[in-house]
Amino acid sequence: MADRRLQVFHAVARHGSFTRAAEALFMTQPAVTFQIKQLEEQFNTRLFDRGHGRVTLTAAGDMVMAYAERILGLTEELESRVSELTGELSGILHLGTSTTIAGYWLPCLLEGFKRRYPLVVPRVSVGNSHLIESRVMDRNLDVGLIEIVTEEPTLDRVAAGQDELQLIVAPGHPLAAEKSVRAEQMVGYPLLHREPGNGIRDLVDQFFIAAGIPLEDLNVTAELGSLSSVKHMAAQGFGIAVASSAAIRSEVASGALVGVPLNPPLYTPLEVILLKDKFRSRLVSSFADFVVEEIARLSSERN
């Protein structure tokens, strides 16, 4: 097993902060400081420079970090290999998902996976697709589920499926009776946009650009980080929005919202991403394979 002091050192180095490392490790800050002090005393040198609210690695710290990455990676691999020999999959799965996937795909995915592997403990982080992508690249997550097609060369990506995007409006809105809507028809109406970095926002922006409409011509009335806020504001008549068809199914069924297909059709990808050079345990591989199979099954049922 890896030395606890090395684990704490690794967390401080990655977060650039004793406070954030303590939060990530569920430790107190004094306990983190004590572990780093012990490690520095063992090597008889400073490992961090402290100042301006952030800590940075010294030259010695850079060397220790390189070895820490290797030692902790081998420890993880050892634990996984032994666990695989003992039978049923178990352990913590560090999973990150976009907000839409978290709200409308993840519950079914986790239910099915937990029924198959009850000893696995999913530890889920939720954020926009770009944030989840960066956290997988930083080795903070084992696997990510996102709504963008990543172009990062350090990542492996698997296309799990896609979801149609639709215009959502309140019943009685002038566009509610349309069979489909073009970008030109949407210009001028107040637009409830997602926050920068959101995968669906990127797709919507490209939808307008492809139609020759400059983004500065859009009448953006709000930028919202919560899909539930987007749906609520749209249902109350504060603007139009674009959302995943999976995310609006219940509101459309209840009559709170109207979903109108876009012309041309627009789809959001559902992608599984993993870091190429990170050891991939049977647990991580099994979950990634399960997601691809389950999204395909769920999509066929919903269609």
Whether residue 228 contacts residue 100, with contact meaning beta carbons closer than 8 Å, is answered with no
pLDDT of residue 23: 83
Average confidence (pLDDT) over 20-47: 88
State pTM to two decimals: 0.69
* Cα angle: 45, vertex 50, 53; to 5 degrees: 160
Whether residue 5 contacts residue 29, with contact meaning beta carbons closer than 8 Å, is answered with no
What count of other Cβ atoms lies within 10 Å of the Cβ of residue 147? 25
pLDDT of residue 54: 79
pLDDT of residue 75: 76
Give the pLDDT confidence of 160-186 residue by residue, as tens digits: 988 899 999 999 999 999 999 999 999
Nearest to 111 by CA among 294, 274, 297: 294
pLDDT band at 19 (very low <50, low <70, confident <90, very high): confident
pLDDT of residue 234: 95
pLDDT of residue 215: 93
E-state strands within the chain: 48-51, 54-57, 91-97, 120-126, 143-146, 155-169, 191-194, 220-224, 241-244, 258-275
CA 127, 128, 132, 138 dihedral sign is: negative
What count of other Cβ atoms lies within 10 Å of the Cβ of residue 127? 20
Does pLDDT of 300 surpass 90? no
Does pLDDT of 213 surpass 70? yes
pLDDT band at 84 (very low <50, low <70, confident <90, very high): low
Euclidean distance between CA atoms 30 and 36, whole angstroms: 10
Cis peptide preceding 264, ω within 30 of 0: yes
| φ, ψ dihedrals at 87, nearest 5° | 120, -120
Average confidence (pLDDT) over 77-103: 78
Q: Are strands 91-97 and 120-126 parallel, antiparallel or unpaired?
A: parallel
Does pLDDT of 294 surpass 60? yes
When the pLDDT of each residue in the chain is averaged and rounded to a whole number, the result is: 88
> What's the distance, CA 56 to chain centroid?
27
pLDDT band at 208 (very low <50, low <70, confident <90, very high): very high
By mean pLDDT, which of 81-85, 195-199, 220-224 is the weakest?
Answer: 81-85
What count of other Cβ atoms lies within 10 Å of the Cβ of residue 64? 21
% of the chain at pLDDT higher than 90: 49
Euclidean distance between CA atoms 53 and 55, whole angstroms: 7
Give the pLDDT confidence of 124-148 residue by residue, as tens digits: 999 888 889 998 998 889 999 998 8
Given its phi and psi angles, is residue 127 left (phi above 0), alpha (psi -120 to 50 degrees) or beta? beta
Nearest to 167 by CA among 91, 245, 51, 92: 245
CB contact set of 295 (below 8 Å; sequence gap of 6+): 105, 109, 160, 161, 270
Give the pLDDT confidence of 220-276 residue by residue, as tens digits: 999 998 889 999 999 999 999 999 888 898 899 999 999 999 999 999 889 999 999
Euclidean distance between CA atoms 115 and 157, whole angstroms: 26
